[in-house]
């Protein structure tokens, strides 16, 4: 699906700033803070303001196009594109690299605990934090 159609399907106007934010987020394997995202965006468009980046991320978050993550012990929010169904990640606490797990390690277990606790699960997420191979001490 094109970015324009994706935005239209989510009730968003297609603007150059929104397209650039989406493009940068779609090309990274890392969680990005607003400041990190902004530094990449001003290389593409020096006139882009940080307030535009904040507004764009918030509009994307409201319609479910991005997820905001907070790493343990940090106050900063990091952003990534949302996944259609649900996703499970390994997240590096050092460089913020995100490794997406293709399979659901909770499949079957979630059904078991739902039954045990008489609970209807609507969504689940699993993020495992640690250090990627590049960030591990030698």
Q: What is the pLDDT of residues 17-46, one digit of tens each?
A: 999 999 999 999 889 999 999 999 999 999
Question: What number of H helices and E strands is found in the chain?
Answer: 5, 6
The two structure tokens encoding residue 106: 């909770």
d(CA 59, CA 138): 42
pLDDT tens digit sequence for 101-128: 888 888 889 899 999 999 998 878 888 9
d(CA 18, CA 55): 10
Map out the domains of the chain with their CATH numbers.
Answer: 1-82 (1.10.10.10), 85-138 (3.30.1490.190)
């Amino acid at each position: 699906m094109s970015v324009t159609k994706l935005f239209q399907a989510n009730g968003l106007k297609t603007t150059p700033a929104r397209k650039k934010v989406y493009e940068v987020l779609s090309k990274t394997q890392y969680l990005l803070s607003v400041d990190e995202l902004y530094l990449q965006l001003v290389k593409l468009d020096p006139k882009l303001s940080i307030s535009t980046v904040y507004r764009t991320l918030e509009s994307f978050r409201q319609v479910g196009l991005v997820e905001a993550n907070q790493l343990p012990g940090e106050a900063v929010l990091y952003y990534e594109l949302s996944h259609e169904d649900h996703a499970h990640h390994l997240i590096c606490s050092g460089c913020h690299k995100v490794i997406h797990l293709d399979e659901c390690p909770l499949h079957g277990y979630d059904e078991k605990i739902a039954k045990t606790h008489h609970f209807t699960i609507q969504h689940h997420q699993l993020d495992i934090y640690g250090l990627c191979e590049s960030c591990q001490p030698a």
